[in-house]
Chains A and B, each alone.
Chain A
Amino acid sequence: MLAYRNGDGTAFDVLYGRWRGPLYRYFLRQCGHSGHADELFQDVFMRVIGAATNYEPTARFSTWVFRIAHNRLVDHWRKLGREPVDPLPAGDIGDDREPAPPGPEDSAPDRQAESRELGVALMAALNELPEVQREAFLLAEEGGLTLEEIASISGVGRETIKSRLRYATAKLRNKLESWR
């Protein structure tokens, strides 16, 4: 991004090639609509391009660009009259308990990983997650962000994100159990 800010056009090509898929899938999974995903995706990268001249590396680029994406998504939801709902009970943050049911351990996903149907089932299960849990999962998987970075972007505590991720993982494994 610094190279692009300094006038290196090819640097943006590399940057875009690196983050186009993760960012697009982030929007696609969150919106569930390719048209909205296209619009949001383009809008975020236009903001990135517009902010390039004043860009200062205060954080990793992934953190910066996914923060823009998160804010843009929140605006999109507000525009649609929706609010992301956190299904966690109040006070249930930072709970280190393993969410139930734990599922049949590692063997089931591993066995069926090659199955295309399993992938489709995973996407369907992901789509059924609450938005905040899905966002935490996507930010971790697509953005490769840490708990702290996800917490900073989402505006909640680190333990809350940790709890959301555990719930999300447990639900996904539970959904995929039927494919064993």
Chain B
Amino acid sequence: MSEIDPKLSRLYREASSEGPPAALDAAILAAARKQIAKPQRRARSFWVRWMAPASALATLVVAVSIAFLVERERPETLDGTAIREVSPRPQSPPPAHITETTKPKAADSAAPAAAERKEAPAAADRATVEAASRKDAPAAAAPAARSAEPAPPAAQAFPAESRAKAITPETAARKTAAEPNVAGDSAIGRLGATAPAAPAAAGKLAPTRQHGIQRSPEAWLEEISRLKREGSDKEAAEQLAEFRKIYPAYAVPENLLK
């Protein structure tokens, strides 16, 4: 620096040799090392301090997640009674009159009120079968069937099928006599040119579907399960296939899928 005489500067440096005491040096150097050691200790203590809470939190999160998953899976796999919300249904329930006409075949599971409504057609069926077995005039059952008014709208719902099933009382009687197992259907066909055919058509088209319609999914699954327990695997498989058509989104228990 030009403002200071170089010789004066040299003289000053030669004369200046003072320094801090050794104790002061030691104290400052010790403080410096302590300061260096602090951050490392702080970092370790931070990890040690948060390790336990972090572990507890992680365990809690895992436990809650597992519990939540189990809670969600339980209705489908264990209980089988809870219904997963199904939207929209692939097939809306048929009109009430179809259900009514098919009730006689599923009387065991029908509601009491519906069963009452079915008393008349059922009586007509029984009368028809009896008449056919006795070789009586088939017309004898017709008035009774007409008086029972077995849901004419069914014919409107399935006009083509009604026409196909529209047979004369005589042929129906002969058919009934020859095939007693389908007497109900045939007898219903004798009830009228249009109306009596509906129950028979509905019954032949999708009997298992009607099961599904009339029963709740749980009851239906219970029925399928019962069939499997009884060894009717084929029928159970059919029922299950039908069930899955109607309730494609319903969680079927795994034991039924095997």
Interface residues of B (CB under 8 A from A): 1, 3-21, 24-25, 27-29, 31-33, 35-36, 39-40
Please tell me which one of the listed residues A13, A20, A122, A141 contacts residue B20 in the complex, with CB atoms under 8 A apart: A20
Q: Are B28 and A46 in contact (CB under 8 A)?
A: yes
The 5 A-B pairs with the shortest beta carbon distances in the complex, nearest first, are A119-B15, A165-B3, A109-B7, A12-B32, A24-B20
Q: Are A140 and B16 in contact (CB under 8 A)?
A: no
Could you say which residues of chain A place their CB within 8 Å of the CB of B28? 16, 42, 45-46, 49
Q: Are A38 and B21 in contact (CB under 8 A)?
A: yes
Q: Are B11 and A25 in contact (CB under 8 A)?
A: no
Q: How far is the CB of B35 from chain A (nearest CB, A)?
A: 5
Closest A residue to B10 by CB, please name it. Answer: A113
Complex Cα–Cα for A137 and B181 (A): 128
Q: Are A173 and B5 in contact (CB under 8 A)?
A: yes
Complex Cα–Cα for A142 and B9 (A): 10
Complex Cα–Cα for A142 and B16 (A): 10
- 17 new A-B contacts at CB < 8 Å, known A28-B18, A137-B4: A7-B36, A13-B32, A16-B28, A46-B31, A52-B35, A113-B7, A118-B11, A122-B8, A141-B4, A141-B13, A141-B16, A147-B3, A165-B4, A166-B3, A169-B4, A172-B8, A173-B5
CB of A157 within 8 A of chain B?
A: no
Could you give, for residues 1-12 of chain A, a 1 whenever the CB lies within 8 Å of some chain B CB and a 0 otherwise?
Answer: 000100101001
Complex Cα–Cα for A116 and B14 (A): 9
Q: Are A146 and B1 in contact (CB under 8 A)?
A: yes
CB of A41 within 8 A of chain B?
A: yes
Q: How far is the CB of A156 from chain B (nearest CB, A)?
A: 15
Complex Cα–Cα for A41 and B21 (A): 11
Q: How far is the CB of A20 from chain B (nearest CB, A)?
A: 6
Complex Cα–Cα for A119 and B7 (A): 12
Q: List 25 A-B contacts (CB under 8 A).
A: A4-B32, A7-B36, A7-B39, A13-B32, A16-B32, A20-B25, A24-B19, A25-B16, A38-B20, A38-B21, A46-B31, A50-B35, A52-B35, A53-B35, A116-B15, A118-B11, A122-B12, A123-B15, A137-B4, A141-B12, A141-B16, A146-B1, A162-B3, A169-B8, A173-B5
Q: How far is the CB of B211 from chain A (nearest CB, A)?
A: 79
Q: Are A13 and B4 in contact (CB under 8 A)?
A: no
Complex Cα–Cα for A24 and B28 (A): 13
Complex Cα–Cα for A120 and B12 (A): 10
Q: Are B36 and A141 in contact (CB under 8 A)?
A: no
Could you say which residues of chain A place their CB within 8 Å of the CB of B35? 49-50, 52-53
CB of A32 within 8 A of chain B?
A: no
Could you give, for residues 100-124 of chain A, a 1 whenever the CB lies within 8 Å of some chain B CB and a 0 otherwise?
Answer: 0000001001100100101110110
Q: How far is the CB of A172 from chain B (nearest CB, A)?
A: 6
Could you say which residues of chain A place their CB within 8 Å of the CB of B9? 141
Complex Cα–Cα for A110 and B14 (A): 12
Given A46-B28, A113-B10: A25 and B15 within 8 A (CB)?
A: no
CB of A87 within 8 A of chain B?
A: no
Could you say which residues of chain B place their CB within 8 Å of the CB of A7? 36, 39-40
Please tell me which one of the listed residues A20, A45, A141 contacts residue B19 in the complex, with CB atoms under 8 A apart: A20
Could you say which residues of chain B place their CB within 8 Å of the CB of A146? 1
Q: How far is the CB of B39 from chain A (nearest CB, A)?
A: 7
Q: Are A12 and B29 in contact (CB under 8 A)?
A: yes
CB of A84 within 8 A of chain B?
A: no
Near B by CB (< 8 A), chain A positions 1-59 give: 4, 7, 9, 12-13, 16, 20-21, 24-25, 28, 38, 41-42, 45-46, 49-50, 52-53
Could you say which residues of chain A place their CB within 8 Å of the CB of B12? 122, 126, 141
Could you say which residues of chain A place their CB within 8 Å of the CB of B4? 137, 140-141, 165, 169
Complex Cα–Cα for A25 and B15 (A): 11
Complex Cα–Cα for A116 and B5 (A): 19
Given A9-B36, A123-B15: A110 and B7 within 8 A (CB)?
A: yes
Near B by CB (< 8 A), chain A positions 60-117 give: 106, 109-110, 113, 116
Closest B residue to A121 by CB, please name it. Answer: B15
